[in-house]
Amino acid sequence: MVTKIGHRGAMGYAPENTLKSFKKALELNVDAIELDVYICKSGELVVIHDDKVNRTTNGKGYVAEKTFKELRALDAGEKEKIPELKEVFDLVNKKVNINIELKATGTAKPVYELIELYIKEKSWKYEHFLISSYNHYELREFNRLSPNIKIGALLTGIPIGFAEFAEKINASSVNLCADFINKEFIDDAHNRGLKVYVETVNDLDDIGRMKALGVDGIFSNFPDRL
């Protein structure tokens, strides 16, 4: 069985990275939801994919240059709001795991602090979380702060040495773009004790191909297809 991961919630059915999208993913019986995190000007951790609000909201400008109040006034689609990370934690409430993608430099520490708070005060477990990033320095920093929480190294392409880089930063998984996946990479990662999660796979034929290749998890905009 592959791990079913709802990409940005269930963005095939609801506006990406909104509470509506995460609720939909829960309804579709995912094993985990995936989301993207930035820090805004007033310091809150906010859930949005791009560094600008332009594509996913009715506003314009950089997330890092807007206060939470300004971000909250925007429509993120179907009258949804840009959520704070802690609102998603409260919605999910330990029902499924959460894959937090660190998008901005400097997100490792505040994300770690929020997770620690939920572990200490709300009985969450380290196992509820997977932290991923294309910025492997940010991932290494997160692992230094919290070696108990799994990290997933995001990757677009096949590097020389296959999954060696991921082993070096104590990753538990490589989260690889589907365009590049091959059996050699999967075998190498498995031999190193690493899981392989593949993103983002929506087409039924492609989902079947990924399963046949032996991946451990799949990110999809339509997680009910997994």
By beta-carbon proximity to ligand G3P, the closer residue of 80 and 199 is 199
**DSSP-assigned states of every residue in 70-81:** HHHTS--STT--
Comparing C-alpha atoms, which of 85, 115, 101, 99 is closest to residue 33?
99
- Find the shortest distance in angstroms from Cβ 121 to ligand G3P: 28
Comparing C-alpha atoms, which of 85, 77, 20 is closest to residue 54?
77
Binding mask 16-55 for Ca ion (x = CB under 5 A): --------------------x-------------------
- Find the shortest distance in angstroms from Cβ 46 to Ca ion: 14
Active site residue 128: no
| Residue at 79: amino acid letter | K
Closest-by-Cβ residue to ligand G3P is: 199
Beta strands 3-6 and 173-177, pairing class:
unpaired
By beta-carbon proximity to ligand G3P, the closer residue of 79 and 173 is 173
| SS3 label, residue 170 | coil
The item of Ca ion, ligand G3P, none sharing an interface with residue 219, based on CB under 5 to 8 Å by kind, is ligand G3P
Comparing C-alpha atoms, which of 181, 176, 171 is closest to residue 199?
176
Active site residue 136: no
- Region of 64 (left: φ > 0; alpha: ψ -120 to 50; beta: rest) is alpha
**Total residues at interface with ligand G3P (CB under 6 A):** 11
Residues 142-201 that bind ligand G3P (CB under 6 A): 154, 175, 199-200
By beta-carbon proximity to Ca ion, the closer residue of 101 and 138 is 101
Binding mask 101-120 for ligand G3P (x = CB under 6 A): x-------------------
Given 15, 19, 20, 34, the residue binding ligand G3P (CB under 6 A) = 34
Which residues contact residue 203 at a Cβ distance below 8 angstroms, ignoring those fewer than 6 apart?
none
The CA distance from 33 to 216, in Å, is 15
Q: List, in sequence order, every residue forming a beta bridge with 174; answer none if it has no partner.
A: 153, 196
Task: Work out whether 132 is an interface residue with ligand G3P (CB under 6 A).
Answer: yes
Which residues contact residue 137 at a Cβ distance below 8 angstroms, ignoring those fewer than 6 apart?
none
By beta-carbon proximity to ligand G3P, the closer residue of 47 and 69 is 47
Catalytic residues: 7, 49
Contact footprint for ligand G3P (CB under 6 A): 7, 34, 36, 49, 101, 132, 154, 175, 199-200, 219
